[in-house]
Structure 1
């Protein structure tokens, strides 16, 4: 059987082909799954998709009509999938329920340190042989307060690194993580966390209850010189409200690996095209903002685990087995 994998990056292709070798053939395409590209999947029983795939009603209908029965998404998040429609169409949906939490936690800290110590500005200057220190002053994080919104596996890893820096730990989640409590974390209401934290990092899934978790009111409640990092999902932050605060001169730095309207932009080369997204265009002009293209998970370790789990999901489906990775079971 040949499997069709959408949205495969150049670095991923040999890993995917190697993982499926000896099991099934796999056709890797760079294009992302959306309404325009869905017809490519005609005749493929199994399709694998990337995190930014459009799996709304129209795309799911096209896949079902074309004979697709299993969609194996290579990500943990599944806010891009209309699960109710998939179930109604008889499609099986599987995801990667977990992978290396260190990849995302370490990258979140990379963003935090980069904006705190003005690394991008410093690198740009030195390339022009400008070695002045004006505007590059950061601050020690030791002894300051970090607020971790979401203390699951990734949030816990982030907190462990913060503990290593010697920071005071505040947490917010629907349930307390014993490992974080052992680190000395104090769980507090979100409003208190935002008011006291010098660094705020987001590690919660995107769902209806968490969309715009950081809205205008939340931003207004943060310290003027705080650092805000989001390596989870773009929809957690009201970006328009964030731009308003940045225009007012607030925040030491903002590090974003995700953006709420990233679909159709991230993972693609748009360098020769006009950017029609005015909010993103404005966001990247701020000198204290660093935006990266959803790469926090992108380590050989994490991607390897994601691919291995995806192969396992395919083999389980073909063998009639069901695992915790299945979001919509086989009928």
Structure 2
């Protein structure tokens, strides 16, 4: 079978080829899938896409017209896919539901530690032979109250790590997980989580209901100086509202691995270009903001799992079988 891989990076190609059988003919394209690039998939049996590719109804219609009825997501989230249109068109959409939740959880806690202990600032200072500790005063995670919004695989993995630090855990999720309750976590209302948490970490999917979950109204309920971490989806946060909260010191620390308009920025080297996104540029001016470029998932173990599951999904489709990962 022929598979066109959109938004492909060299590491994607290496990992997919490493675990691929000989009967998959790969076509790797760096551009993202959208209405302009979809024609490049002509002659393929399936397309393989990532978080910022466009799987809207119009693009899915074009895929079906090209005779392509399989979409393999190299990720767990599917907010970029019009599932209703896919079902009507008979396009099968398959995802990777779990690829090392520990990778994202460890990155999440790493961002908390970096912000709380100012590792990034200390690193830059010592490279300049500046060993002054003024301005580097941090705080302990021990006995801090951490609010986890979303307790799926990644939320649970994050909770396990934070319990090791001696944190108190408050959780919000439509489905309460007994394992977390055994760890001593409490499920509470969103309002209580906002009011009681020293640190808030987002681990929920992006849906119409959760879009801009963090906004002016919810920020107003939070403690002054709260730490906010987002390693889930950028549109969970109203960025302009967060900037105002940074200016007023309502948010004391902000860690982002995702950004609402990241499709035009992340996974690219823009170091020699002027970035026109003024909102993103404003975020970079704050000394208490740490941003990574959708890196939380990016470990050897996760890449292996993504590749193996993606190939399993594609081979199952070619055999007219269900992989178990269909949406």
CA distance, structure 1, for counterparts of residue 134 and residue 195 of structure 2: 29
- For the 8 Å contact 2:7–2:29, the answer to whether it is kept is yes
What pairs with 1:190-205 in structure 2 (closer than 5 Å)? 190-205=190-205
Question: Aligned runs of 1:13-162 on 2, under 5 Å?
Answer: 13-162=13-162
Alpha-carbon separation, structure 1, partners of 2:261 and 2:173: 25
TM-score (structure 1 length as normaliser): 0.95
C-alpha RMSD over aligned residues: 1.3
Distance 2:78 2:87 in 1: 14
Distance (Å, rounded) in 1 between the aligned partners of 2:36 and 2:292: 26
Q: Per-residue CA shift, 1:125-152, capped at 9, x if unaligned?
A: 2222222222111101111111111111
Q: TM-score, normalised by structure 2?
A: 0.96
Which residue in 1 is equivalent to 2:177?
177
Give the Å deviation of 1:233.
0.6
Is the CA contact (8 Å cut-off) linking 2:222 and 2:250 kept in structure 1? Answer: no
Q: Aligned to 1:309, what secondary structure does the other structure show? A: helix
In structure 1, stretches of 5+ residues that fail to align are none
2:110 & 2:121 partners in 1: Cα distance?
A: 15
Q: 4+ runs of 1 displaced by more than 4 Å? A: none
Q: Cα deviation per residue 1:89-148 (whole Å; 9 max; x = unaligned)?
A: 332211112221101111100111111111222222222222222211110111111111
- Residues 303-325 of structure 1 deviation map (CA, whole Å, 9 limit, x = unaligned): 11111111111111111111331
Secondary structure, counterpart of 1:11 in structure 2: helix
* Number of aligned residue pairs: 327
* DSSP 3-state at the match of 1:77: coil
> Which is further off, 27-36 or 173-182?
27-36
Aligned to 2:266: 266
Q: CA deviation at 1:64?
A: 2.2
CA distance in 1, matches of 2:218, 2:159: 21
CA distance in structure 1 between the partners assigned to 2:12 and 2:97 by the alignment: 19
**Aligned residue in 1 for 2:216:** 216
Q: Is the 8 A contact 1:196 1:223 kept in 2?
A: yes
Instruction: For 2:253 and 2:283, locate their aligned partners in 1 and report how far apart those are by CA, in whole Å.
Output: 12
Note the C-alpha offset of 1:290.
Answer: 0.6
Native 8 Å contact 1:202 1:231 kept in 2 = yes
Residue pair 1:144, 1:198 contacting (<8 A) in 2 also: yes
Structure 2 residue aligned with 1:165: 165
